[in-house]
Structure 1
Amino acid sequence: MSEATCKAAFLLGFLTVLVIRIYFAQQVKSSKVKDDRKTIPEILLLLLSVLGMFLLPLVGVFTPWLKFADYDLPGWTGWVGTVAFGLAIWIFWRAHIDLGLNWSASLEIRENHSLVDTGVYQYIRHPMYAAFWLWGIAQVLLLHNWIYGLSYLVSFVPMYFLRIHLEEQMMIDTFGKQYQEYMTRTGRVIPKLSQIAG
């Protein structure tokens, strides 16, 4: 796969994710927040992720400014990256559908919030994070540049490790034993082997 095709595949995936996120953000706009646990470190790490996920890749795709940091990968890696991005998009979309009005981009519990354990959530507790991990891998394989190719993984890792524990604690505080039992049945971002085998 050529560099131009890799960049086009990335842009198509990027735009698809953006449309999904904007659509669902509009859906939950009128849903009231009952418990807001946003913190300054989380907000700063979210902004860092936006830099690595959106801004740097777009600079890299549309300008030659970061060309000095390009690297070469075999052509087949573009196809693997495209498949990874396609899977990320599907998981991302499915997670939004399954959550419905329970979805929030931040650490929030909405009024009438319910614990979703169906659809993709019957296998993993955090499918959106799984989608983001796949996106980061796809970005490395599609955008062959040490700065904007790796920027998403580098910026996402600290946010993930800060936020995952806060999010799970918020769910335990809200749903108690129900969520703790759910945690024993499901993997965090990868299904448990028992789920795959059985």
Structure 2
Amino acid sequence: MSELTRKIVFLICFVTIYAIRFYFARQVKQNKITDNRKTIQETFLLSLTVVGMFILPLIGIFTPWLKFAAYNLPSWTGWLGVVVFSLAIWLFWRSHTDLSLNWSASLQIRENHSLVQTGVYQYIRHPMYAAFWLWGIAQILLLHNWIYGLSYIISFLPMYFLRISQEEQMMIDTFGEQYRDYMTHTGRVIPKLYQERLESEE
């Protein structure tokens, strides 16, 4: 796969994900927020992530400024990137669909918020974060550059590790033992396949 094709594929996938996010953001806009735990630190880390997922890749794709940091991977890695990004898009869309009006872009609880345990949420608690990790891997495979190829993974790391524990604490505060029980049979971003196999053998 040529460099131009990889960049075009990345842009198509990028636009698709933002179209999904825009659509669902409009859907939940009128749903009242009852618990808002957004902090300045979270806002800063979100901004840092935007640089890695949006600004640097676009600079790299549309300008020659970062060509000095290019690296070479075999041609087939581009096709693998397409597969990984496609999976990320599906998981991103499905996560929003399953959450419906319960979804929020930040640490917030909305009116009539319910604990979703169906669809992809019956296997993992944070499929949207899983989609972001897949996006980061796909970006490395499609954009062969040490700066804008790796920028998303690097910028997402601090955001993930800060927010994941805060989000789970918010859910525990809201749903109590119901959420604690939910945590016992689901993984954060990877399904607890080993546990499920043991339960099926009992």
**Alignment TM-score, normalising by the size of structure 2:** 0.96
Whole-Å separation in 2 of the counterparts to 1:51 and 1:85: 19
Corresponding residue for residue 123 of structure 1: 123
Whole-Å separation in 1 of the counterparts to 2:102 and 2:50: 22
3-state SS of 2:148 partner: coil
Q: What amino acid is the match of 1:54? A: F
Whole-Å separation in 1 of the counterparts to 2:144 and 2:194: 37
Alignment of 1:17-96 (within 5 A): 17-96=17-96
Whole-Å separation in 2 of the counterparts to 1:26 and 1:183: 30
Contact 1:92 1:127 in 2 (8 A): yes
3-state SS of 2:106 partner: coil
Whole-Å separation in 1 of the counterparts to 2:177 and 2:45: 30
Q: Which structure 1 residue ranges, 4+ long, deviate > 3 Å from structure 2?
A: 194-198
Whole-Å separation in 1 of the counterparts to 2:170 and 2:194: 26
Corresponding residue for residue 184 of structure 2: 184
Corresponding residue for residue 4 of structure 1: 4
Cα shift at 1:29: 0.4
Alignment of 1:147-166 (within 5 A): 147-166=147-166
Whole-Å separation in 2 of the counterparts to 1:191 and 1:102: 22
Cα shift at 1:89: 0.3
Q: What amino acid is the match of 2:88? A: A
Q: Deviations over 1:63-92 (max 9, x none)?
A: 111111111000011011110000000000
Cα shift at 1:195: 6.0
- Percent of pairs with identical residues: 73
Cα shift at 1:194: 3.4
- Unpaired runs of 5+ residues, structure 2, are none
Contact 1:124 1:189 in 2 (8 A): yes
3-state SS of 2:35 partner: strand
Contact 1:42 1:159 in 2 (8 A): yes
Contact 1:49 1:152 in 2 (8 A): yes
Q: Deviations over 1:158-195 (max 9, x none)?
A: 00000000000000000000000000010100000236
Whole-Å separation in 2 of the counterparts to 1:131 and 1:2: 25
Q: What amino acid is the match of 2:75? A: G
Q: What amino acid is the match of 1:156? A: F
**Alignment TM-score, normalising by the size of structure 1:** 0.98
Contact 1:85 1:134 in 2 (8 A): yes
Contact 1:143 1:149 in 2 (8 A): yes
3-state SS of 1:89 partner: helix
3-state SS of 1:153 partner: helix
Alignment of 1:139-154 (within 5 A): 139-154=139-154
Whole-Å separation in 2 of the counterparts to 1:138 and 1:114: 32
Q: Alpha carbon RMSD of aligned pairs, Å?
A: 0.9
Q: Deviations over 1:102-138 (max 9, x none)?
A: 0000000001000000000000000000000000000
Whole-Å separation in 2 of the counterparts to 1:181 and 1:170: 15
